[in-house]
Every structure is written in structure tokens, then in C-alpha cells.
């Protein structure tokens, strides 16, 4: 029998989860989030999740729930499973950050490509050939968004088995989502107006760089455990 790849297992997982009772679905979803955010390679995580799912479906026939099978402390049970599995390689660890950076830069240069085309067709009386590209602004913006994403993933894992959303936690998640993205937009706009480290790339330069970063994003996305 041919071994399934991670994407096929994810599809099978999503299909079989429909067989779970509401109570087991909640417990399984908590375990799924926690395990997928762990430092375990994607292939092993998805194999483990399917195995857990099979146990749950079989136990339901005997009117048992996740706590009857795995114990009252699901997080400790998951930690035991994680400790027995291999850890991610350096490429897998860095690919998450790499594919996010590549995607953000592909989007930025893609937008600049469209803006350059707009300037070419509709701004005939200007010497500007494209929007300004700020190295400093882009670097700071991308760095802040990366830190924000890592913080959000940390919160998701920390609260994966405690999903009660009180007002303090709502504020925390709102702050974690809004602050990095708003700060990144502000910094990018601010540094584009400064006279240092500013470049105006042509339409073709923007387009080529956007395509290259998008190709890098697709490659790193396949290597990431996300």
C-alpha cells in the first residue's frame, strides 16, 4: 500500500472528522491545533492525527469520549506523544518564516507592478516610473509582521485546550492581530516618504521580483509545517 502524503492525510482527516460527535470534535480539534503547532514534522503529525481520529471513531461505537480514551489531561497526553516523535529539521523550522516573508514580498512587488502599469498608462506628465521602494521600511514591516504571526501562533498553542474567550483574552488576541499589521502599514508608508534608501524600480523589475518571491513562497510552503 502506497504511503499517503501529508496533504492527502489532511483531506482524509477533514472528511472523517464529520463522523465525530460534537463532544469528541471539540476535544479532537484542541489536540489537532496543539499537535500541528508542535515541533514535529508534518508527515508524522498527520499520521498521528489520523491514528487518534481512528481511535475516537472506534470508541464512539462503545459510547466513549476522548477523555475516556486519552485521560482527563489531553495536553499532557499530547506532550507524551510529541516527546516520542522526531523533531523538525532546520529547513522545516525556518521554512514557515521563509514562506511568510516570500509571500509578503511577492504581494508588495505585485502591488508595485500594478501601480507601475497604472502610472505608465495614466500619468503621462510625471517622471516617476513606479512607486518608491524603501528597503528600511520593507525590512521593518516584514519583521514586525513575522513577530506578530509567531506571537499569534504561540497564543493559539497556549490556549488550544482552554478556548473560553473572556474579555481579557479577546483584547489580547485583538492586540496581537491588529498591532503588527497596523504598525507595518504605518512604517512602510512613513519610510517611503523619507529620502534615504529609496528606489524606483521599473515595471519589469517589479514583475520579475514578484514572480521570483512567489515561486520561493510556493517552494517553502510545501516544506513548512503550517
CA torsion angle 144 101 99 93 (round to 10): -50
Find the length of the chain.
226
- Is there a single domain that holds both residue 142 and residue 78? no
Q: What is the pLDDT of residues 80-111, one digit of tens each?
A: 999 998 888 877 778 778 888 999 999 999 98
Give the mean pLDDT of 40-64: 91
pLDDT above 50 for 222 = yes
CATH of the domain at 46: 1.10.1900
- Is there a single domain that holds both residue 59 and residue 155? no
As a whole number of angstroms, the longest Cα–Cα distance in the chain is 77
Lowest mean pLDDT among 29-33, 38-42, 124-128, 183-187: 124-128
- Is there a single domain that holds both residue 94 and residue 79? no
Higher-confidence residue of 3 and 115: namely: 115
pLDDT above 50 for 1 = no
Using alpha carbons, list the distances in angstroms from residue 45 to 10, 31, 71, 109, 225: 10, 11, 20, 35, 9
Q: What values do phi and psi take at 29, rounded to 5?
A: -60, -40
Q: How many domains does the chain have?
A: 2
- Is there a single domain that holds both residue 67 and residue 101? no
- Is there a single domain that holds both residue 209 and residue 169? yes
Task: Give the pLDDT of residue 196.
Answer: 77
Q: Which residues contact 221 (CB under 8 A, 6 or more apart)?
A: 95, 99
Kind and range of the H or E run holding 198: strand 198-199
Q: What is the pLDDT of residues 203-215, one digit of tens each?
A: 888 899 999 999 9
Show which of 57, 83, 109 is a domain's final residue.
Answer: 83
- Is there a single domain that holds both residue 51 and residue 157? no
- Is there a single domain that holds both residue 190 and residue 97? yes
Q: What is the pLDDT of residues 54-75, one digit of tens each?
A: 999 998 888 888 999 998 899 9
Rounded to whole angstroms, the Cα distance separating 200 from 207 reads 13
pLDDT above 80 for 79 = yes
Task: Give the pLDDT of residue 121.
Answer: 73
Give the mean pLDDT of 14-39: 90
Find the angle CA(72)-CA(169)-CA(27) to the nearest 5 degrees.
Answer: 25
Q: What is the pLDDT of residues 134-160, one digit of tens each?
A: 889 899 999 999 999 989 988 888 888
Rounded to whole angstroms, the Cα distance separating 49 from 174 reads 30
Residue 124 located in a structural domain: yes
What is the extent of the structural domain holding 46? 6-83
Binning pLDDT at 50, 70 and 90, where does residue 130 land? confident
Using alpha carbons, list the distances in angstroms from residue 191 to 50, 100, 178, 194: 48, 22, 20, 5
pLDDT above 90 for 116 = no
Residue 53 located in a structural domain: yes
Rounded to whole angstroms, the Cα distance separating 30 from 39 reads 16
- Is there a single domain that holds both residue 110 and residue 191? yes
Show which of 52, 83, 114 is a domain's final residue.
Answer: 83
Rounded to whole angstroms, the Cα distance separating 95 from 190 reads 29
- Is there a single domain that holds both residue 113 and residue 219? yes
Task: Give the pLDDT of residue 194.
Answer: 82
Residue 1 located in a structural domain: no
Task: Give the pLDDT of residue 110.
Answer: 92
Show which of 83, 112, 139 is a domain's final residue.
Answer: 83
- Is there a single domain that holds both residue 190 and residue 140? yes
- Is there a single domain that holds both residue 113 and residue 202? yes
Q: Give pTM, 2 decimals.
A: 0.77
CA torsion angle 152 93 43 213 (round to 10): 90
Higher-confidence residue of 74 and 129: namely: 74
Amino acid at each position: 500500500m502506497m504511503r499517503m502524503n501529508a496533504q492527502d492525510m489532511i483531506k482524509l482527516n477533514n472528511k472523517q472528522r464529520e463522523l465525530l460527535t460534537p463532544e469528541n470534535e471539540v476535544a479532537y480539534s484542541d489536540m489537532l491545533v496543539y499537535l500541528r503547532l508542535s515541533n514535529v514534522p508534518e508527515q508524522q503529525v498527520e499520521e498521528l492525527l489520523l491514528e487518534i481520529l481512528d481511535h475516537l471513531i472506534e470508541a464512539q461505537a462503545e459510547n466513549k469520549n476522548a477523555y475516556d480514551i486519552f485521560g482527563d489531561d489531553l495536553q499532557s497526553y499530547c506532550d507524551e506523544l510529541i516527546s516520542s516523535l522526531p523533531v523538525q529539521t532546520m529547513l522545516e523550522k525556518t521554512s514557515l518564516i521563509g514562506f511568510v516573508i516570500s509571500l509578503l514580498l511577492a504581494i508588495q512587488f505585485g502591488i508595485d507592478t500594478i501601480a507601475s502599469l497604472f502610472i505608465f498608462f495614466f500619468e503621462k506628465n510625471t517622471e516617476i516610473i513606479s512607486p518608491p521602494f524603501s528597503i528600511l521600511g520593507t525590512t521593518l514591516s516584514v519583521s514586525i509582521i513575522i513577530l506578530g504571526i509567531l506571537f499569534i501562533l504561540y497564543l493559539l498553542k497556549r490556549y488550544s485546550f482552554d478556548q473560553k474567550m473572556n474579555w481579557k483574552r479577546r483584547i489580547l488576541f485583538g492586540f496581537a492581530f491588529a498591532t503588527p499589521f497596523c504598525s507595518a502599514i504605518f512604517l512602510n508608508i512613513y519610510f517611503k516618504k523619507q529620502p534615504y534608501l529609496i528606489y524606483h524600480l521599473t515595471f519589469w523589475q517589479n514583475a520579475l521580483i514578484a514572480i521570483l518571491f512567489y515561486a520561493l513562497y510556493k517552494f517553502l510552503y510545501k516544506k513548512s509545517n503550517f
